[in-house]
Amino acid sequence: MITRRNSVAVGLPTDEYVKLRKTIFTTIWNELDPLEQEIENTEKIPYDVVMPALKACGAFGLTTPREYGGSGLSIAQYLPILAEFAKIQGGIRAIVHVHNSFTHALSEIGNSEQKQEILPGAAIGEKSLAFALTEPGNGTGADLSTTARRDGDRYVINGRKWLITNSDIASHFLVIAKTAPKEVSAIIVPRDSSGLTISPLPETMGCKGGEHGELVFTDVRVPATGLVGAEGEGIAHLERALEISRVFIAACSLGTATRALELSLKYSKDRVTFGKPIAERQAIQRYLAEMAADVYALRGMLADIASKWDRECRVPAESSLVKQFGLEAVGRVTDRALLVHGGIGYTRMYPIERLYRDARLNWLEEGTPTIQYLVAARELLNGYTFDDAFDSVPQ
């Protein structure tokens, strides 16, 4: 069963896309990948190096529509680029993912004034919209405790949010708050709003170096023009934004899993025990084949979803299923990659231990497994069926 949506992504002409992709891949491997050890050791991203590199290669404008100065990539064009970022140090990947995910969301759910205010700057990395949903004292969705009370032409916001990625670099936050006891709304809050304090949280297990900070709102007065859509539409906007953002996380799982497989294939040929490369042992071959099956399956799911989304279809069940399958797949692949590498894989001599830690964020971003099961099962129980190439031939 297909639900249509309003499309914003038309995609870049192929020759321009090939050029952009080459430029970005060159930046990833020549300029950003060499920073891995520095970031892991210092737990800080050298923004003075990373931001100019990301700006210069066009990484901040990937999902911004072309009319606002971005590349306006289709989802099929964007996913392989995001996956490539997920092969290198995860803190850099997180910056790129959150920036592009929420500029994409704004381009779909914002009005023309909101887009005009943020998107041209976002396309060149001068502005960035972060997403502020999670709270320390409550669950998400209807359980939120952050409030936004209407006062004339302003909203007055009070509450706390935490674990907000890009809290150090965002120019704006898309804050999900209650505008009435049973009404959740989405409001754009400029970073420099009086009464908003932003502070870092302790360092993370993986995807190190970026900030996932805490926001405290104390009588923060923001223009009511920052309301996205109408009051009470917050949950719908949330679901809309997360639908494709969950697919983006699955693409990150694919990138990390692909790198772990590539490193394992190479290592298994190089490492000799008892006079033979371990690649010649059937047990290791089984690990490699299992890893490849996960990578192949995830690629196929993502290709199916990208083709649906770019044909303007909604993917409400697929997005949660691929997010869940992706994190399980990258979990299995990084586990097996550690086994292929033996003890040295547990050290920082190879990126395997870093990939293993980075991948664990994929369990949390855009919702834990319990919410993915809930969303997918709800859609299926309501009668959602897959419409895909598998049974498109006449029967």
Ligand X SMILES: Cc1cc2nc3c(=O)[nH]c(=O)nc-3n(C[C@H](O)[C@H](O)[C@H](O)COP(=O)(O)OP(=O)(O)OC[C@H]3O[C@@H](n4cnc5c(N)ncnc54)[C@H](O)[C@@H]3O)c2cc1C
Residue among 156 and 364 whose Cβ is closer to ligand X: 364
Q: Which is nearer to ligand X, 12 or 132 (CB)?
A: 132
Give the residue with the Cβ less far from ligand X, 42 or 116. 42
Q: Are 321 and 372 in contact (CB under 8 A)?
A: yes
Measured distance CA(40)–CA(352) in Å, rounded: 13
- From residue 395, give the alpha-carbon distance in Å to each of 167, 214, 386, 391, 392: 53, 55, 16, 8, 8
User: d(Cα 255, Cα 93) in Å, to the nearest integer?
Assistant: 10
CB of 179 to ligand X, least distance (A): 18
Nearer CB in complex with ligand X: 221/360:
360
Where do contacts with ligand X occur on this chain (CB under 6 A)? 98, 130-134, 139, 163-165, 204, 212, 361, 364-365, 367-368, 370
Rounded CA-CA distance 75/319 in Å is 13
DSSP letter string over 53-102? HHHHHTGGGSSS-GGGTS----HHHHHHHHHHHTTS-HHHHHHHHHHHHH
Q: Which residues are registered as beta bridge partners of 4?
A: 313
Q: For residue 296, give the 3-state DSSP assignment.
A: helix
**Which residues, 6 or more positions from 319, have their beta carbon under 8 angstroms from its beta carbon?**
242, 243, 244, 246, 247, 305
Q: Which of 189, 126, 205, 183 is nearest to 364 (CA)?
A: 205
Nearest residue (CB) to ligand X, 363 versus 386: 363
- Work out how close the CB of 166 gets to ligand X at its nearest, in angstroms, rounded to a whole number: 7
Residue 373 CB, nearest distance to ligand X (Å)? 9
| Residue 105 Cα distances to 129, 240, 244, 247, 395, angstroms | 10, 8, 9, 13, 38
Closer Cβ to ligand X, 65 or 210, answer by number: 210
Residue numbers annotated as active site: 366
Smallest separation, CB 94 to ligand X (Å): 7
The nearest distance, CB 193 to ligand X, in angstroms, is: 18
- Provide the minimum distance between the beta carbon of 25 and ligand X in the complex, in angstroms, as a whole number: 25
